[in-house]
Homo-oligomer: A and B are copies of this chain.
Amino acid sequence: MLIGSGCVRSVSAAWVGNVSAGLAHCYRRAMEEGVPRRITVRDHSNFSIAQALLAGAIGAPYIPTRSLLGSDIPRANGTFREAESPFDGSRVLLIPAIVPDVAVLAVQRADEDGNAHLWGPWGVSQEAALAAKKVIVLADEVVPREEITSDPNRTICPAWKVAAVCEVPGACHPSPLQGRYGRDHEFFHEYHRRTRTAEGFDDWVGEWVTGTRDHDEYLAKLGRRWEELREDGVPSVPAAY
């Protein structure tokens, strides 16, 4: 959507698409036709982007890997370097650190200071948060501090990195948030169908983005569909601290 709206100049990513539905039309239009504007892309793989963020998170200038040797990704990316390991002369690919200006994290709960609990697969969330200069937390629920400190192993990054905590129930829709709501598959498919053309995309944005005042109105527009996605989840067996 950011690409389709012309807000993006450059993308560093391992994968851009509409999972389960197909290719990402806005991304295709931008890359193939320069519509609405030309973007540049730095190709990555899941591992290389995770390593770049890990390097950023621990303040390492780069991390060496064996992945992608022989692939065209390093050439297309342009920031990697091939080198020999000084330990055994074997070939390695050096992935330089990525330090994002901002990382946006959606989590189940956070306190007012920004101490955030995320569960379910972490993907690259933690590395991205630690690597970033600042973090914006979208919390499904803002909870008392005691709920966070009752389980400090679940905290994903230190509060001093968090520039803003926003209580936004349903922030991930149409993607899921473990224990809160499931995935809205049909919403993805509908988006896919309607954004085949640039006009269709503008129409969709007019309806769902600029056409709703805020996220509450967006959820209200979803109506019963949103209610049906909600899941209670099964509570974890507590850990005693």
A residues within 8 Å of B by Cβ?
A: 51, 58-66, 81, 83, 85-88, 90, 92, 94, 96, 108, 117, 119-120, 122, 143, 147, 150-151, 153-154, 178-180, 232-241
- Copies assembled: 2
Of the residues B88, B96, B108, contact of A239 by C-beta under 8 Å: B108
A64, A96, A235, A236: which has the most chain B beta carbons within 10 Å? A236
B61 touches A92 (CB 8 A): yes
Of the residues B63, B65, B66, B239, contact of A117 by C-beta under 8 Å: B239
A241 touches B233 (CB 8 A): yes
- Roughly how many angstroms separate A72 CA and B102 CA in the complex, as a whole number? 38
Residue of B nearest to A148 (CB): B237
Binding site secondary structure of chain A: loop
- Given contact pairs A61-B64, A83-B86, A94-B86, A119 touches B150 in the complex (Cβ within 8 A): no
Residue of B nearest to A153 (CB): B119
Q: In the complex, what residues of B have CB within 8 A of residue A235's CB?
A: 150, 238-241
Q: In the complex, what residues of B have CB within 8 A of residue A178's CB?
A: 241
- Roughly how many angstroms separate A96 CA and B85 CA in the complex, as a whole number? 10
Q: In the complex, what residues of B have CB within 8 A of residue A239's CB?
A: 108, 117, 119, 151, 154, 179, 233, 235-236
